[in-house]
Structures are given as structure tokens and as C-alpha cells.
Structure 1
């Protein structure tokens, strides 16, 4: 609200910048419940001002006159509050008998140092409080350090955000090409020639800029480097992105994993099962994105836009793929058809309301509402269609080798899916999606994935050593080992979330098929 009404009801949330004390009091008087979410650092400054105002100190605030935080601070300074934005402003003020100097918590640290130096020299009796937030100082220092190692720097954050504006100012003063953008669409308004020609680009952001906005900017920047590049690179990038958006590359990976699993088990008639895996995964992944894509608006807006624009085509592709998969399974016998039919029903019902609220306590209406269910169900579904369905359909039984291969393929897909959950954490939290990553947090989830991958590597290695699976198991170790090192590289900041990382992860599954084919050929 912009003004306090005569009467009110409900809850008012005071944002991190804070408000003058009389505003808070008046909101309560007219009937609002007030939840004060003022930043603790700002509250500290308010307390300093309030305490000294009681003793008739003049309060000098270094900040932007119209900034919401400064407006709130002036309310605590009383009638003797002043705002300055430079050393000249301080010199132009009357010489007070007693005064304090504080700063807006997101103020430029260099400017504050100049103010403090001037006050020490000319007004030694003034009390100076460095109230700039520690993270603000660190962030400004990081911008300088980052600028020294890159050709161009992008500062992401609101155009009206004081701390973001100061980061952009600091970046520009370094002499590097600096861009202040609020969102990825702002790239269209800028002269991008210096940016595209840069070999190294740094990205930083204001204190309140959400991670999903930074991720969207990074994705747009990543795409920009290809779109503005040579025609061959542009073509390759377009094909790569299209295969990811349509899930064609994911389904090829499922078929490749199925081929590797059949080779491990010595199943000679593998082609129908490979086709079934491709069609099933193609259908289920598209349908689940179509019916449950709220978080894509934050995690991957390009995907959300693509699915909205091509909804009819993608729905048709999913239905045709699912139907073709069932027909192929039917030709393989009742066992294969029944397994795939049940799995398809479960996949279709994942985002559908199954139970009325009186049976679920107003919480679990759908399978997707069960915390962490997506990660486990995707992994198990892939495991069944790639390693259990083929031997069960071919021989009517599942041996020890099939069980071991199921555990290995499931663990590989589990780590892949849970890792993508980590990349999508913030968007999932915004829409209330409870994935494994949002439940455990990034650190514990990464720890779990590394342990799971080590167990998967040991399982494949020992199964091959003891002759429980073919010698192909030794060669296929390249896939889980590569995934393990990708996890380590991401954890240490050597790779960043984006199209290339996503494509790299998905490539491990076609790699399994290629490795199996080469092994079979020799």
C-alpha cells in the first residue's frame, strides 16, 4: 500500500528496508496485523538513531534521500535528521554541538571512508558509526576483484536498487565494459558488441537479486554467445537446445542406457526394448512438463515459453510416442505390455489429483505432492524400462544380474535427476515444490549424490569382477566416474548451471550406448 487507510484488516508485511516508527504504529491503530521483516542490520541503525535522538544529537545519514531505508531511518532521527550523499553535503551542514554519522546499510564503502576521514579532521567531536552491512562491503570488494580478471562485467539487479547501482558504479570505474541489467530481456536494449567479443565475462548481482534471476541472465548470456557467433556454432547450439527442449536427447539417452543394460545381460534381441525405452521416456517427460511446469517459469523460462507456444505439437508428440511404445510392447508379449501400461498409468497420474482432501489431510492430493517423490520415481521408472522389462519379457524371469544392473542404472538416473533438482531449487521453493534438494538442502543433497555415485561405481565394478555381468561393466565405468567428477567440478565452481552443463550430463547416457556398441563390435 502507498498510504494508510482509515480502516484496515489483514496482515501487513514491512519489507527489509524498514519504515518510520509512526507508520508502523498507525498501521496497527487502523486494524492491521503488522509483521516486521526489517533487516536486523537496518534495525541496528534505527536503534542507534533512536538512542541518540533522545539525547538531542543531530543525526547525519549518508545515503540516498529517497531510498526507502533512508526514509525509514529519518523517522527514528526525529526532527534533527539530515541526509548527505557527498563530502560537500557534510561541509554544507551547520556545525553541530553534538552529532552522529551513520550510513545506509548498502552505501558505497569508499564514500563512507571519505566521509569518516573528513569528520575526523573537521568534526572530531562527532560520533561516526560504520553501519554498512558486511556483505555489502564484501560484495563491492568482490566486484573489484572480479573486474580485474574479466573483460566485461554484468551487474544484475533492480535499476532502483541502491546497492546494485553502487556495484554498477564500481564496475564502471574499473575501466572494463560494465552493464547494469534488471532481467535477461534487457540484453535486447544494449550495445552487445563489446560483450560478445569478450573472452571472459563476470556476473555479479545486488544483495536482493534472487538466484533464479541470475540464472536466467546466465542462460541468456550463454545463448547469446552462440546466437551472435559463427553460423555453424549458431546451428549447433540451436539443434542442441531444441533436442533438450523437446526431450528428444533425453529419450535417446534412455534408449542408449537400455542398450547398454541389455548388452550387460547378454540379451541379443535388444532393438524393441531400446525403442520402448525411447518412446516411454519421450512421452512421460513431455507430459509431466506440460502438466506440472510452474517452476519452469523461474528455473527455465525459455522452456516454459517453448511449451506454451508449442503445446499442441508437444502434446501430440507425447501421445504418439506413448501409443507407439505400448504398441511395440504389445508385439513383445503380454508381460512387456502390462509392465509398460502400468508404468504409463502411473506416469500420467503423477500430476493428477487422485484422492479427495478428506482422505489426505489437505496435503497429499497427487503423487507429486509426496515430498521427494519425483526424483525417486523417475529413477525407478528408467531402471525398470531399461533393465527389468527386457529380461522379464525375454525369459519371463529376473536373475541376479538383472537386479544388479537395475540398481546401477537407477542410481545413475537418480544422481542425474537429483542434481537437476539442485539446479532448480529456488524456483521449486517459490512454487512450493518439495524435491529432494529442497528438503535436504544443497550441501546434504550433494553429499548424498556423491555417496550414491560411489556405491554405483563399486556395484558395477564388483559385479564385473565376480563375473555377475559381462566385461562390458568395466568399460561402462566411464559413465558413473564422469558423472562423479562433474559433481565435484560443479561443487568447486569449475562449471556453472546452464545449457552446456545440462547437455553434458545428458550426454553420459548416449555415451553408455556408444561404449556398449564399440565393445560389442570388437
Structure 2
């Protein structure tokens, strides 16, 4: 089975902005915090906001305290004023595209124009737009109703920002034929247009489309309509529990698209559920291969294997004669630290990797024992190598264990960073340094007591490779990290800028390997290892262009670059 995900699936700019404002408000303002009506049309996000202490107000009280967020759909102009009069602090999370339509209506209403709004009469966005039209606002959702309208000397026609583009095209043709003096504005959000156009193209190239989003979401309903108009089955669902497994299991090519208010973690859950479907009719060996890949990734064994392979490559570049103990130490250290931090980070895993969160909840005791035993074994091996590697690994282990722990107590006021994880970008940087020290510096410092001429380029290459790997996973996890308040590098710099940085680092890794090998700082193995940064560059670029979808296979392929480093090193020695 082939799965294709629409590039436009998930949060649009306006929804993303509204959710971020709500999450920021929960961290920056004292309770109570409210949204006036549901912030967006997605029950899972609303449940999340409720967990964060953000309640829904459906009416304006005479008096009150706290903060109120105006939802993405907007409200009539007097609503904000009434909230402020009642004593609330108001944060306007209205989508900028909706504000544009409000501005058009208000300007023309002041000049005596009637406002014909093409949209759903009961939709909150339309209710807000009517507030700007005053007494001369009319809502129309069918061509027949347009034809029944009285003649206006001056009128404008605007569309709800999530309106069906094909229907609005018909409205524009009607106006051009019947009332040429009416002013018609293209107010459908370009994100909506792109989403619907892509849904149409997707439907034409697949056998069926799963449309993900709230049942009361207008733009999601229209995506389902677009798919059906293209002649393909549309399965409109809110969660993976509603998937029609029996029907989809017989489909060869499934498309996935999602409404503008659908969070990434819901799309990821549904993708993972569909990803497993073809194994019902695939050979047994493929089922087992998929299960093994999933197990190795969830338990961090594959990441630890990658760390061991990276250590092997780094040791070979530094011409260390007996790298085996250091490979074992790297494997055990990374297995222990990653597992323990996953155990203490289940909260964000609920959004970033729901499959991992469930796995860790169900196997908490076994995984904790595995992490503690592997950590103790790593320290034991290091102690057998001498006092220096033991002390260094012990310090690294203590730092790793303290990452999620509150180090600054609550009674110390005005201190923003109470845990290491609270420091912006700390996750990616510290993981990169930890892998780099364990794989590149620990072996050479233990063996020779000093850093060789080629040690720093090896360390830079290893740490940068891990930075790229971890930063890429952070890009995939941006939405969940934002929800739990974790300021990763992609959140600090933005997704596009981070992808540019990661690809730039891949180029730097390539250059460091090439120049160091050319100058004789590294053995000729350095030329063979050029394949690793080159592959990471290709993976990141392919994902950015939509050719590699997030899931078990993408994660496994990314982690495999470190295993490849070990494999080509072994191959180089054999040859």
C-alpha cells in the first residue's frame, strides 16, 4: 500500500497563531484564562486547552476577571469592547485573513454599501463579519438565495475565508452577469484555496482519501466534498479510532488530508495506523521486519546501536587500536540516557509520538530496569578502563539524569530556567555534545591522555551529525514541543530556517571529512564516510519537498546513517 499526505494538511497560519497565543497565555498570564467560544473547531485541541487550564466562555458576564482570547474566527466589534468593560484583559487571536475581510466590510458599510456574505449562516466567522456590516449585512449559502435578493444600488460580495472555491466561482459568475456594478472581493484564504486544490489533485491520484478534522469544521467538510466531487471515496474522521479498517485495507493507494484546525499529532496517529494496514496482506517477513523496526526504535536500541557504530567510525578516524570497550560504553550510555529521558518525557510524547508514549506507559517498569542496568554496566566497563573514563562518564550520566529534573526550587522567585530542559535549544545541543564526547573524545583521551591533531575535526563531525539528526526530529516534533512549552531550536528559529541550518551543517560535515582526509589528518576512510552527511542532506531535502513522510520508516532511515558509518568503517578494514 502507498500512502500520500497532502503538504497543506494540518494547522493553517491563522489556527497556528491562535493556538500559540493560547498556549503562551497559559504560561504568561495568571488564571483564569478563557476563550470566547471554542478557539478552533477541533475537539482534541479544545481538550488540550482545557488541560492547560483554559476554559470556554459562551456569554459575556457583566463583571469578571482574567484573560479572554478572541478565537480565530473573529467576533463582532462590540464583543471585544464589552469584555474590556466587564474587566477582562482581551487577547485578539482572530486570523489575519479574517481581519482583512472584516476591514473590507467595515469600510464599505461606512460608505453605505450592502454586504453580501457568502458563507454558512451559523458559522462563528460569519457571525463576526455580520457585526461589521451593521444593518445591511446579508448571508447567502446558495445561488438560489442570491437570485432572490433585492436590487442594491451599492453592494459588495465577500466570502467566508473557508468557503468552497468552486461555489464562490459560481457566485462571481452570477454577479458578473446579473449585477456588474457589485464589488466582488476574493476573500477566500489562499491557504484554503491551496488546501482544496491539493485535495482535488490528491483525489485524482489515489484510490481513496482520509479527511481528518472536526465534524463541525467547515473547511474540513469542504475538503471531503472536494474529494467526493473528484469521484473518490472520502472518509471524514476525527481520530484514528474511527478509521474504516476493513474498507481501507483493500485500497492500494490512500491519500490523507486534514482541515486547518487539525493538529499534527492526530495526523501522525492516523498515518501510523494506516501505515500498519498493508501488513495484513503482505508476506510474513515484511510484518516481522516492520515489527522489529518499531521495537528497535521505541526501545532506543537502534539509536544506541547507532551511537556504538559512530564511536567505531570515530575511533578508526583517530586510529585507536582497540575501540571495542568504547563502542560498548557508547552503546550502553546512549541506551540508558535516552530511555530514562523518554520515561520522564512521556507528556510531550503524547503529542510528538503517541505510539512511543503508549509503549512507555505500558512497559514503564521493564524499560526503567533496562535503562538503569545499561547505565550501571556502562559505568562498570568505564571503571575497568581507568579512573578518568569512569569519572567522565559518571559526570555525563549525572547531567543526563538531571535534564528533566527541577534544579531550582519554587521558593526562589523570578528564575525562568528551573530545569536544564527549560534552557532554549538545550535538548539538541546537549545530545549532540554527549554523543560527540562519548564517541569521539572519550576513546582518545583514555588511550593517550591528550587530544590528537585529528581529534577535534572528528568531534566536530560526530557532534554535527548528531545535531542534524536530533534537530530534524525536533522539526517533526515542533507542535508537541510547543504545547508542553519546550523551546527547541526549530521553535526558536522556525521550521524553514532550521532546515536550512541542518542542511548547512550537513555540507560542513562533508567539507570537514573531505578536507581532513585530503590533508592526511584522517585516513582514507574519511572519503568513504562522506556518504553519511550526503545521505542526511538528501533525507532532509526529500522530506522538505514532501517525498519522505514522517513515520517509522523515516525515523529508521535517519537513525540508520550512524549504522552506515559503522558498516562502511568495518568494510574499509575488511577491504
Q: Specify the alignment match of 1:26 in structure 2.
A: 82
Change (3 A) 1:8 1:408: same
Q: Specify the alignment match of 2:507 in structure 1.
A: 454
Deviation of 1:44 after TM superposition, in Å, equals 3.6
The whole-number CA distance in structure 1 between the counterparts of 2:120 and 2:534 is: 53
Q: Secondary structure at the match of 2:310?
A: helix
CA contact (8 A) 2:514 2:530 kept: yes
Deviation of 1:79 after TM superposition, in Å, equals 4.3
Which 10-residue stretch deviates more, 355-364 or 493-502? 355-364
Unaligned segments of structure 2, at least 5 residues: 1-56
The whole-number CA distance in structure 2 between the counterparts of 1:166 and 1:353 is: 47
Q: Secondary structure at the match of 2:276?
A: helix
The whole-number CA distance in structure 2 between the counterparts of 1:34 and 1:409 is: 49
1:171 pairs with 2:227? yes
Q: Specify the alignment match of 2:334 in structure 1.
A: 281
Q: Specify the alignment match of 2:215 in structure 1.
A: 159
Change (3 A) 1:133 1:466: closer
The whole-number CA distance in structure 1 between the counterparts of 2:412 and 2:66 is: 31
The whole-number CA distance in structure 2 between the counterparts of 1:398 and 1:237 is: 42
Q: Specify the alignment match of 1:6 in structure 2.
A: 62
1:308 pairs with 2:361? yes
Change (3 A) 1:463 1:49: closer
State the aligned residue count. 519
Q: Secondary structure at the match of 1:470?
A: coil
Q: Specify the alignment match of 1:417 in structure 2.
A: 470
Q: Specify the alignment match of 2:529 in structure 1.
A: 476
1:479-512 Cα deviation digits (max 9, x unpaired):
2222222223223332222211110011111122
Q: Secondary structure at the match of 2:210?
A: strand
CA contact (8 A) 1:16 1:38 kept: yes
1:464 pairs with 2:517? yes
1:140 pairs with 2:196? yes
1:263 pairs with 2:319? no
The whole-number CA distance in structure 2 between the counterparts of 1:406 and 1:127 is: 64
Q: Specify the alignment match of 1:332 in structure 2.
A: 385
| Structure showing greater relative contact order (alpha-carbon pairs closer than 8 Å, 6 or more residues apart) | 2
Deviation of 1:96 after TM superposition, in Å, equals 5.5
1:244 pairs with 2:300? no
The whole-number CA distance in structure 2 between the counterparts of 1:397 and 1:43 is: 63
Q: Specify the alignment match of 1:321 in structure 2.
A: 374
- Root-mean-square deviation (CA), in Å? 2.5
1:82 pairs with 2:135? no
CA contact (8 A) 2:116 2:140 kept: yes
Which 10-residue stretch deviates more, 81-90 or 210-219? 210-219
The whole-number CA distance in structure 2 between the counterparts of 1:305 and 1:359 is: 35
Change (3 A) 1:375 1:54: closer
Task: State the structure with more CA Rg.
Answer: 1
CA contact (8 A) 1:228 1:234 kept: no
Given candidates 327, 332, 341, the residue that maps to 2:394 is 341
Change (3 A) 1:45 1:273: closer
Deviation of 1:358 after TM superposition, in Å, equals 7.6
Q: Secondary structure at the match of 2:260?
A: coil
Change (3 A) 1:64 1:511: same
